[in-house]
């Protein structure tokens, strides 16, 4: 009985996975063996750094990453950039500056004052606000990617399937809406995002292969870290806690048997 409720929940999850029954139903997601899955999972460092490059060169044209600060790129459990690398990455971004000595917030041409990014800054958004983002994307709002992997059923598999799932032929009789793209992993099949990746769209600094699948896997790993930056910490501490609790419970069991030895 004590497992009945989680079991019921698990059944509910299994039974609710939809098949490709009707037009617009989501196709079963592609599943990858992610490096960060399982109790000992850690992020593949190379994938994280490649993924950062894909985000920077491709995704960030439309998608913000508002909650991620530059300094976390050099922190333990993250992409593992060195401090100077991270500072250089931050300095490569322009951030709206505060008022200058004269209290001005715009330069003499009326443009907002900008400054270079610092480790404490977060990734700047590509658009000034949601309305500007919609206006530039045919009315659709590209979601912020900071917690995207946790915000979609299927998590990393979902994001991977979406970004690598373009280019398939729609089934006969299905008409793709004007200005949209066919993607069978997206509920309704009409997605506003154009196919983001092509083979060798990104040239990885270490010369690693950059097929669509490589790029997608890398950026999903990066976004999974962005969603759960303390995952490695959590797994490491979890192991310690489990060992401690098992030993503690073992000792508690022995003392329980000892105390009860004479009672029964």
Partner 1 sequence: MSGPSTYVPQTDLTRWLDSRLPILRLAHDTVWTFPTPRNLNFWYAFGAILTFCLGVQIVTGIVLAMHYVPNAGLAFDSVENIMRDVNYGWLLRYVHSNGASMFFLAVYVHMFRGLYYGSYKAPREVLWILGVIIYLLMVVTAFMGYVLPWGQMSFWAATVITNLFTSLDQVIPHLGSVIATWLWGDFAVGDATLNRFFSLHYLLPFVIAAVVGLHIWALHVPGNNNPLGIDVKGPQDSLPFHPYYTAKDAFYVGLFAILFAVLVFYAPEFVGNPDNNIPANPLVTPTDIVPEWYLLPFYAMLRSVPQKLIGVLVLVGSLLTLAFIPWLDWSPVRSNRFRPLMKQLFWVFVVDCIVLGYCGSQSVDAVRFGMPMVVVARVATAYYFAFFWLIMPIVGLIETPKPLPDSIAKSVLGTSAAPAE
- Of 202 and 220, nearer to partner 1 (C-beta) is 220
Q: Is the dihedral of CA 223, 228, 233, 238 positive or negative?
A: negative
- Of 114 and 187, nearer to partner 1 (C-beta) is 187
Sequence-separated contacts (24+) of 7-12 with Cβ below 8 Å? none
> Of 45-53, 57-65, 98-106, 242-250, which part binds partner 1 (CB under 8 A)?
242-250
> What tokens appear for 105 in the block?
């917030």
For the bound state, the minimum distance from the C-beta of residue 183 to partner 1, rounded and expressed in Å, comes to 17
| Using rule CB under 8 A, residue 134 touches partner 1 | no
Q: Which of 4, 21, 22, 205 binds partner 1 (CB under 8 A)?
A: 4
Q: Are 212 and 199 in contact (CB under 8 A)?
A: yes
Closest CA to 68 of 53, 82, 78: 78
- Rounded to 5 degrees, what angle do the CA atoms 191, 149, 168 make? 35
For the CA atoms of 186, 190, 195, 196, what is the dihedral angle to 10 degrees?
-60
For the bound state, the minimum distance from the C-beta of residue 74 to partner 1, rounded and expressed in Å, comes to 15
Q: Which of 26, 53, 72, 190 binds partner 1 (CB under 8 A)?
A: 72
Closest CA to 85 of 115, 48, 112, 111: 48
| Using rule CB under 8 A, residue 179 touches partner 1 | no
| Using rule CB under 8 A, residue 17 touches partner 1 | no
| Using rule CB under 8 A, residue 23 touches partner 1 | no
- Of 16 and 111, nearer to partner 1 (C-beta) is 16
Q: Are 41 and 35 in contact (CB under 8 A)?
A: yes
Q: Which residues bind partner 1 (CB under 8 A)?
A: 1-2, 4-9, 11-12, 15-16, 39, 67, 69, 72, 143, 146-147, 150-153, 155, 187, 227, 229-230, 233-235, 237-238, 241-242, 245-246, 248-249, 252-253, 255-256, 258-260, 262-264
């Amino acid at each position: 009985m004590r497992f009945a409720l989680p079991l019921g929940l698990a059944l509910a999850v299994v039974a609710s996975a939809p098949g490709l029954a009707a037009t617009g139903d989501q196709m079963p997601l592609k599943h990858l063996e992610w490096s960060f899955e399982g109790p000992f999972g850690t992020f593949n460092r190379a994938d994280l750094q490649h993924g950062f490059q894909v985000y920077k060169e491709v995704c960030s044209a439309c998608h913000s990453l508002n909650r991620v600060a530059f300094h976390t790129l050099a922190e333990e459990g993250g992409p593992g950039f060195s401090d100077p690398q991270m500072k250089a990455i931050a300095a490569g971004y322009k951030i709206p500056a505060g008022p200058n000595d004269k209290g001005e917030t715009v330069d003499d041409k009326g443009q907002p004052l900008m400054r270079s990014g610092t480790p404490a800054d977060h990734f700047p958004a590509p658009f000034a606000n949601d309305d500007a983002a919609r206006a530039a994307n045919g009315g659709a709002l590209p979601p912020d990617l900071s917690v995207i992997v946790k915000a979609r059923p299927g998590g990393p598999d979902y994001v991977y399937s979406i970004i690598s799932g373009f280019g398939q032929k729609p089934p006969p009789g299905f008409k793709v809406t004007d200005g949209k793209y066919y993607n069978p992993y997206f509920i309704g099949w009409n997605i506003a995002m154009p196919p983001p990746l092509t083979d060798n769209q990104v040239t990885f600094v270490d010369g690693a292969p950059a097929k669509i699948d490589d790029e997608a896997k890398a950026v999903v790993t990066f976004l999974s870290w962005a969603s759960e930056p303390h995952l490695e910490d959590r797994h490491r501490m979890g192991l310690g806690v489990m060992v401690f609790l098992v030993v503690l419970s073992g000792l508690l069991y022995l003392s329980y048997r000892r105390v009860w030895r004479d009672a029964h």
